[in-house]
């Protein structure tokens, strides 16, 4: 029997899917798939979509393609899905143009990774870059996308948060994609009540939740949201054994997918969950049929599909 702890207050968990950019077999953008993607998010009770980020291969898309994807997501969002558009770019000016377009399209928020070729060397330079981008969308919430493993911008977010809040009128918080949960907790504290700090690593969401996180953006929420929702429900009622067990199901799935290339494996999995999002853009390499069969067999052995379908949890 799972060990029960004193029941903790129940808070809602706002999951935002970092959405894939659907593509036709020839690599062109499949805008028609977006409505079906949005419906899938609604069915699982997700808060919204994070568009054209890492999962969406935003850095591999042209500016015109990014705008087309943004426009279509905003068209299908309705009143129940929050659309946050990643506009980060090596060019701050290009990022600003994408942000202005996102605002004109009706996005709820924009987010930007740091410039990743010529990089800001300190917090003041990063704040300046973010302020320039945010100024082009003056009516829209702005989030900084902290993902140092990709951007190679390793700056202290505990210092960036107050500096950005003072300099950027629309600053709404961070997308914190880092495994440093101690710093994540400090960021939540320093963000205050008016700003959010979205947790990034899906494979350790329970750690983020235990540090006070109540919102997250992630790749696997596109198809595995029920697992994380059950994990959070267990955590909220004080059943840490069940929360750990459920998180481990997701963590093992992510570890397995990493062995098949990571993002290409996640994108390939969409064909098993109702919306085939097609191939990846080069330099990523899509899975072939043999790899797909092998991946599915590995996940079936783990019991992943039964868990994501919401089978009864045994004590």
* Nearest by Cα to 61 from 32, 16, 22: 22
Question: Which residues are paired to 70 by β-bridges?
Answer: none
Which residue stretches of the chain are H helix? 33-43, 63-76, 92-105, 123-135, 148-151, 157-167, 181-191, 205-210, 221-236, 240-258, 263-269, 289-302, 304-308
- The pLDDT tens digits for 163-221 are 999 999 999 999 999 999 999 999 999 998 899 999 999 999 999 999 999 999 999 99
- Is there a cis peptide before residue 283, judged by omega within 30 degrees of 0? yes
pLDDT of residue 274: 87
Give the span between the Cα atoms of 90 and 245, in whole angstroms: 40
Q: What is the pTM of this model?
A: 0.93
Question: Which residues are paired to 199 by β-bridges?
Answer: 176, 216
* Catalytic annotation present for 267: no
CA dihedral 76, 106, 276, 176 (to 10 degrees): -140
Q: What stretches in the chain show pLDDT beneath 70? A: 1-12, 310-315
- Average model confidence (pLDDT) for the chain? 93
In the three-class reduction of DSSP (H, G, I as helix; E, B as strand; rest coil), residue 152 is classed as coil
pLDDT of residue 309: 79
Whether the CA torsion 207, 165, 151, 61 is positive or negative: it is: positive
Of the candidates 145, 184, 221, 228, the residue annotated as catalytic is 145
Classified by CATH at the fold level, domain 14-237 comes out as TIM Barrel (3.20.20)
In the three-class reduction of DSSP (H, G, I as helix; E, B as strand; rest coil), residue 168 is classed as coil
pLDDT of residue 8: 35
Question: Which residues are paired to 49 by β-bridges?
Answer: 17, 83
pLDDT of residue 310: 56
Return the percentage of the chain with pLDDT > 90, whole number.
92
In the three-class reduction of DSSP (H, G, I as helix; E, B as strand; rest coil), residue 258 is classed as helix
Of the candidates 143, 175, 260, 267, the residue annotated as catalytic is 175
- The pLDDT tens digits for 226-235 are 999 999 999 9
Give the span between the Cα atoms of 50 and 16, in whole angstroms: 6
pLDDT of residue 4: 32
Question: Which residues are paired to 141 by β-bridges?
Answer: 109
pLDDT of residue 149: 94
Give the span between the Cα atoms of 59 and 256, in whole angstroms: 25
């Amino acid at each position: 029997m799972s060990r029960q702890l004193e029941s903790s207050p129940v808070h809602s968990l706002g999951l935002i899917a970092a959405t894939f950019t659907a593509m036709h077999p020839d690599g062109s953008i499949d805008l028609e798939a977006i409505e079906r993607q949005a419906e899938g998010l609604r069915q699982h009770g997700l808060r919204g979509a994070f568009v054209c980020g890492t999962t969406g291969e935003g850095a591999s898309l042209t500016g015109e393609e990014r705008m087309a994807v943004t426009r279509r997501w905003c068209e299908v969002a309705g009143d129940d899905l929050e659309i946050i558009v990643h506009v980060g770019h090596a060019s701050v000016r290009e990022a600003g143009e994408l942000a202005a377009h996102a605002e004109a399209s009706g996005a709820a928020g924009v987010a930007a990774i740091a410039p990743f070729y010529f990089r800001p060397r300190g917090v003041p330079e990063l704040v300046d870059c973010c302020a320039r981008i945010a100024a082009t969308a003056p009516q829209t919430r702005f989030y900084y996308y902290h993902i140092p493993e990709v951007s190679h911008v390793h700056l202290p977010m505990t210092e960036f948060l107050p500096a950005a809040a003072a300099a950027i009128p629309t600053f709404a918080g961070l997308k914190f994609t880092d495994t440093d949960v101690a710093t994540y907790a400090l960021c939540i504290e320093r963000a205050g009540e008016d700003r959010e700090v979205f947790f990034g690593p899906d494979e350790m969401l329970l750690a983020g939740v235990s540090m006070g996180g109540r919102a997250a953006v992630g790749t696997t929420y596109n198809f595995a949201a029920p697992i994380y929702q059950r994990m959070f429900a267990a955590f909220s009622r004080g059943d840490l054994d069940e929360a750990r067990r459920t998180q481990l199901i997701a963590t093992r799935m992510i570890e397995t997918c990493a062995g098949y290339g990571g993002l290409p494996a996640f994108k390939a999995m969409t064909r098993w969950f109702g919306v085939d999002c097609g191939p990846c853009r080069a330099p990523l390499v899509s899975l072939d049929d043999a790899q797909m069969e092998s991946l599915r067999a590995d996940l079936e052995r783990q019991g992943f599909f039964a868990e994501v379908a919401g089978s009864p949890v045994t004590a």
